[in-house]
Amino acid sequence: MKLMVLGSGQDGGVPHTGCYCSACIRARRHKRRRRLAPSVALCNDKAGSCYLIDASPDFKFQMDMIWNHIPHVKRVGKIPVSSILLTHAHYGHITGLLELGKEVLNEIGIPVFCTPAMGQFLSASPPFSHLVEGGNIEIREIRPGVKTELGGISVTPTQVPHRNETADTVGYIIEATRRVIYIPDIDRWTDETLEEISRSDTAIIDGTFYSAAELPGYRDVPHPPIKETVELLEGASTEIYFTHINHTNAINRRGRERRTIERLGFKIAYDGLTLDI
């Protein structure tokens, strides 16, 4: 069983539209410095089936990553993905669903697993509601704390605090040979989430900002800064990767900040990172 990080960037990715900071300039010049919008694939490489967590605006490139890197993957409709699981309703996590509609793929009945609140949001809000009405996607409700089996992998959504303007937000606990937790977006760490991270073999977690000082509008879009997260999780036996990395984050360059967290044993996700799970 494999987990592939298809996008290690924050919703707007790196480079960020309209930004010419050094990380964005470097990412425009060198493809390997780019970070696509957040998404991961869970692939049963024996059965050839893949499940996607979040459908990002970089969906088309991420489908190519699956075709190119997972051998013998099965086509389901026109994509290499059997179903899609959603974390929450922000731009970088759901707009790729629109590729499944009439304007692009016109898929039939792709299962979309999400919480009841997310399901209601999608069913009631155009243009996503057109996908439900047109039968391109089928909403399958899953509840936080309740396990769902998906061809050799079990997934359990876990509720996390985040800006929930339209629905709610979950991370996922993924159990195959290893126990992995994926939380791309959270406003602050809670005792429950820290406990879940410590209980997991691998954690791929919100590393949007290195420091709360790097973005003037930080208060409107809070995420736990890496600087503080490493203090909370130092000494955990879990293998920890930071993902959902913003273009402003100092760990985009090889400098003091990156060296500091790597010395402490933390890792930084990148697009194409593939883990045996």
x-or-dash string of contact with Zn ion, 255-274, rule CB under 5 A: --------------------
Q: Is 90 in the site for Zn ion (CB under 5 A)?
A: yes
Query: How far apart, in whole angstroms, are the C-alpha atoms of residue 204 and residue 137?
Result: 27
Within residues 21-40, the interface with Zn ion by CB under 5 A covers 21, 24
Residue whose C-alpha is closest to residue 51's, from 214, 218, 172, 165: 172
Q: How far apart are the first and last CA of the chain?
A: 5
> Which stretch, 41-49, 88-96, 226-234, 250-258, contacts Zn ion (CB under 5 A)?
88-96
Rounded to 5 degrees, what are φ and ψ at 3? -120, 125
Query: How far apart, in whole angstroms, are the C-alpha atoms of residue 174 and residue 83?
Result: 15
Kind plus residue range of the DSSP H or E element containing 263: helix 256-263
CB of 268 to Zn ion, least distance (A): 17
Q: Is 11 in the site for Zn ion (CB under 5 A)?
A: yes
CB of 194 to Zn ion, least distance (A): 19
CB of 262 to Zn ion, least distance (A): 22
Contact pick of 13, 16, 35, 245 for Zn ion (by CB under 5 A): 16
Question: Which residue, 21 or 76, has its beta carbon nearer to Zn ion?
Answer: 21
Q: Is 224 in the site for Zn ion (CB under 5 A)?
A: no
Question: What are the C-alpha distances in Å from 132 to residues 50, 106, 151, 230?
Answer: 22, 12, 24, 41
Question: Which residue, 109 or 255, has its beta carbon nearer to Zn ion?
Answer: 255
Q: Is 223 in the site for Zn ion (CB under 5 A)?
A: no
CB of 11 to Zn ion, least distance (A): 4
Q: Is 207 in the site for Zn ion (CB under 5 A)?
A: no
Please give the biggest Cα pair distance in the chain: 51
CB of 21 to Zn ion, least distance (A): 3
Burial class (CB in 10 A: 0-12, 13-18, 19+), 134: middle
Contact pick of 13, 247, 258, 269 for Zn ion (by CB under 5 A): 247
Question: What are the C-alpha distances in Å from 71 to residues 3, 12, 50, 53, 159?
Answer: 13, 29, 11, 19, 33
Query: How far apart, in whole angstroms, are the C-alpha atoms of residue 208 and residue 3?
Result: 20
Contact pick of 58, 99, 185, 206 for Zn ion (by CB under 5 A): 185
The 8-class DSSP code of residue 245 comes to B
Size of the site for Zn ion (CB under 5 A): 9
CB of 81 to Zn ion, least distance (A): 20
Contact pick of 13, 92, 96, 224 for Zn ion (by CB under 5 A): 92
Question: Which residue, 73 or 203, has its beta carbon nearer to Zn ion?
Answer: 203
Rounded to 5 degrees, what are φ and ψ at 68? -80, -25
User: Dihedral sign, CA of 259, 261, 264, 266?
Assistant: negative
CB of 110 to Zn ion, least distance (A): 22
Report the interface residues with Zn ion, using CB under 5 A: 11, 16, 19, 21, 24, 90, 92, 185, 247
